[in-house]
Amino acid sequence: MRTIILSVLCCSTMSWAAEPPAVWSPDLMVSGTMVTSVAVSPDGNQIAYVQVSAVMTEDESTYRNTIYVAPADASTRQRFTYGKQSASNPRWSPDGLWLAYTATQPEGKSNLVIIPSDGGGPRILTDVKSGVGDFRWSPDSTTIAYLLPDEPSEAKEAREKAKDDPIVLDTDYTYQHLWLVALPDDRDEPQPQRLTEGSFHVGHSFAPGFDWSPDGKFIAFSHTRTPELNDWPTANISIVSIATSEVRPFQQSDSAESSPKYSPDGKSIAFGVSNFPPSYIRQARVGVASTDGKHLKLLAKTPDENPQLIGWQNGNMLVIAEGARTTTALYRLPVGGGDPKRFDNAQGLIGSVRLNTTGSHLGLTLMDSTTPQEAYFTSLRSYVPKQVSESNSHQPDLVLGTTEVLRWASTDGEEIEGLLTYPVGYEPGTRYPLLLVIHGGPAGYFTQSFIAYPRSLYPLAAFAVAGYAVLRVNPRGSGGYGYQFRQANYNAIGEVVTSKTSWQGSIT
């Protein structure tokens, strides 16, 4: 199989390199454009998004991120960032006057930058070597909280320069913590201030999230014991005082808690909470508790039991995103009780979902198997996504293989689903070679993404051009089909097992 795949790739590149592409090839796929981080302004009138483009020259081979801003009517698109920097994660200030983002230079140095919302010169707020991570505006738009790794110790830097064996366990951890920077006057220099410190890690990639209280006096944040990848099950949530830097626990249990979101009135915090014991198979609920950590209530289960908490629509409703078979679903989850209600139109694969600061609009990306990714926004009151980007308008209009969702019964009657991409020019009744593509995860799953997506692990569009049918199966153990299906092959490949987890660790 590996020999066949490599032959297809090599032949495709060699055949079409000397002339304009007439069909999809791996190199053409890589040159496509991706869109992410769609941010709607507080009043819903402007939409910022990041366009990710391939840069392939004699000197560079990389992806570069550029921020664009479009009005709600999508009549124009203004480029906000230039040069060799990669600009990421745009966020509007709550008063709508500023757009903040992180700018990463070619050498890898990432810093926090603001730019007036009506355009103008950018202003750098940080100058750090280790690189700024995620960030959030304060409710009054005067301060930004951001994540910053500590500087490594001299001993650790020496080991890294000596290129010691990377397999050796290194317990000299470089923790990440919260910092603050106030927007300075025009003539003043920014003065970043550290907010948290200690032997814990804020903003683990598998247990992220921090949020300002509505009055701007506190930040709730998720933290883990160490930055180690496998330490995400130790995630808990604490609250830090902006005035004193005093940290107090909010949720500390044997489950993993993350993604805290303050309610609009500041009296409660919603957050994600895992089952007990936590595992990579992921089973989670949304919990809500008062800010003193008491009166914890677990809300209704979502269909896949792996919700991504987007935010509060109002004081009584939360917005959730979650995998749904081969697509993505958006739900409203009542805080007072009741099942989640899906409110998207079940068309296209939704990504990069963000709620604006006023809770009125969502920014998101959409694509499907034959349509490339673009930026959209919608009112939260009524889901009617409107496209605002044209990031892939430069792509040639080439024929794609058709993709179909197939369902069949396994030997025990369990329904299994897969995606079959037909070869270009498919004729019913004709036999074609079949490539079986397997996902990892361990609980990953195939979705109805654009088959010429630039960062696809396999060049599906090129395979279809070369005359192959491609089958991508979501077998037992895949995500998107509920927890029981996701854990059905846990420690028992080819067998069916029942869950041995519980919610006890979260409730006590």
392 vs 395: CA distance, rounded Å: 6
Q: Which residue has the tokens 């936590």?
A: 278
User: Residue 168: what pLDDT?
Assistant: 54
Q: Which residue has the tokens 């290194």?
A: 170
How much is the average pLDDT of 393-402?
90
Whether the ω angle into residue 277 lies within 30 degrees of 0, i.e. cis, is yes
- At residue 461, φ and ψ (nearest 5 deg) are -60, -40
Q: pLDDT of 60-102, one tens digit each?
A: 888 899 999 999 999 999 999 998 889 999 999 999 999 999 9
Give the helix/strand (H/E) hosting 378: strand 371-379
Ordered DSSP codes for 207-228? B--EEE-TTSSEEEEEEESSS-
Q: pLDDT of 141-171, one tens digit each?
A: 999 999 999 987 777 666 666 665 555 556 7
Using a 10 angstrom Cβ sphere, with 0-12 exposed, 13-18 middle and 19 or more buried, the burial of residue 347 is exposed
170 vs 278: CA distance, rounded Å: 24
Token digits of residue 9:
């790739």
Sequence letter at residue 412? D
Using a 10 angstrom Cβ sphere, with 0-12 exposed, 13-18 middle and 19 or more buried, the burial of residue 33 is buried
Q: pLDDT of 106-139, one tens digit each?
A: 777 899 999 999 888 899 999 998 899 999 999 9
Q: pLDDT of 183-242, one tens digit each?
A: 998 889 999 999 999 999 999 988 899 999 999 999 999 999 999 999 999 999 999 999
**Statement: residue 277 has pLDDT above 70:** yes
Token digits of residue 170:
């290194």
Instruction: With H, G, I as helix, E, B as strand and everything else as coil, classify residue 164.
Output: coil
How much is the average pLDDT of 399-424?
95
327 vs 390: CA distance, rounded Å: 22
| DSSP 8-state class, residue 231 | G
Whether the ω angle into residue 442 lies within 30 degrees of 0, i.e. cis, is yes
- At residue 10, φ and ψ (nearest 5 deg) are -65, -45
User: Residue 409: what pLDDT?
Assistant: 94
For residues 191 and 182, is the Cβ–Cβ distance under 8 A? Answer: yes
| DSSP 8-state class, residue 198 | S
**Statement: residue 3 has pLDDT above 80:** no
Reduced to 3 DSSP states, what percent helix, strand and coil does the chain have, rounded to the nearest 5? Answer: 10, 40, 50
Q: Quick one: which of 342, 328, 276 has its CA closest to 499?
A: 276
Residues with Cβ within 8 Å of 91's Cβ and at least 6 positions away in sequence, in order, are 39, 99, 100, 101, 135, 136, 137
Question: Residue 20's pLDDT band (boundaries 50, 70, 90)?
Answer: low
User: Residue 447: what pLDDT?
Assistant: 97
Question: Residue 435's pLDDT band (boundaries 50, 70, 90)?
Answer: very high
337 vs 157: CA distance, rounded Å: 52
Token digits of residue 119:
């355009």
Give the number of other Cβ atoms within 10 Å of residue 218's Cβ: 22
Give the number of other Cβ atoms within 10 Å of residue 425's Cβ: 12
178 vs 314: CA distance, rounded Å: 27
- Report the percentage of the chain scoring pLDDT > 70: 90
User: Residue 21: what pLDDT?
Assistant: 60
56 vs 154: CA distance, rounded Å: 37
For residues 289 and 251, is the Cβ–Cβ distance under 8 A? Answer: yes
CA Rg, the chain, in Å? 24
134 vs 89: CA distance, rounded Å: 8
User: Residue 396: what pLDDT?
Assistant: 84
Residues with Cβ within 8 Å of 499's Cβ and at least 6 positions away in sequence, in order, are 283, 483, 484, 487
Average pLDDT, the chain: 90
409 vs 407: CA distance, rounded Å: 7
Token digits of residue 296:
């914890």
H helix count then E strand count, the chain? 6, 33
